Amino acid sequence: MRQYIKSDLYRYCGSYSKTQFVKAYFIYPGFRITLFYRLAKYYKKRNFLLFVFFKLFHRRYVIKYGIDLAVDATIGYGFYMGHFGGINISPKAIIGNNCNISQGVTIGISGRGENRGVPEIGDGIYIGPGAKLFGKIKIGNFVAVGANAVVNKSFPDRSVIAGIPAKVISQQGSEEFILNPYDIY
């Protein structure tokens, strides 16, 4: 759990220290809600009382900041939400390492029958403001999703996608959009 929190802090501040932790906690709402997401997820199967305690704080910030980050979602190292408001992440979503999510993003369930499901999002993803990703799809590594894109099909690594419905507009990837990537290797 500490490594996850350390990786999230690094994405916001570019370093880790107690001073940076306090700064990030009070300045960045995205860090604060991610912190309580990590703590609630960690204690969910380990200590019921601590789980309830951290879940209450998590729920408070979900309501306060308009970021519906479900505790059951699976999120890798170095998660970053640059702006708060209108973010909805399904409890079954899978998000890789070093991902940026902007305001107004929805990652949700959709589809019928065997196509029903939630997105599986790779590493190093940038998701622009207002983008909607839904259905049983796979987004490759280092993909940049443009603002207000509607993504309902899978895309390969290093794509830049935009539009309604989303389509590949280049193969430049998302590396330039990912600030302070946390090296997990």
Residue type, 60: R
pLDDT at 176: 87
What is the predicted pLDDT for the residue at 178?
A: 86
- Write the pLDDT tens digit of every residue in 89-112: 999 999 999 999 999 999 999 888
Cα separation, 83 vs 29, whole angstroms: 8
Spatial separation of the C-alpha atoms in residues 13 and 41, rounded to whole Å:
23
Q: Which residues of the chain have pLDDT under 50?
A: none
Residue 180: what pLDDT?
Answer: 81
pLDDT for the residue 85:
85
What does the pLDDT read at residue 181? 82
- CATH class given for the domain over 2-177: mainly beta
CA dist 51 → 5, 91, 138 (Å): 16, 16, 31
Return all residues near 11 (Cβ < 8 A) that are at least 6 apart.
Answer: 78, 79, 80, 98, 179, 180, 181, 182
- Predicted confidence at residue 185, as pLDDT, reads 53
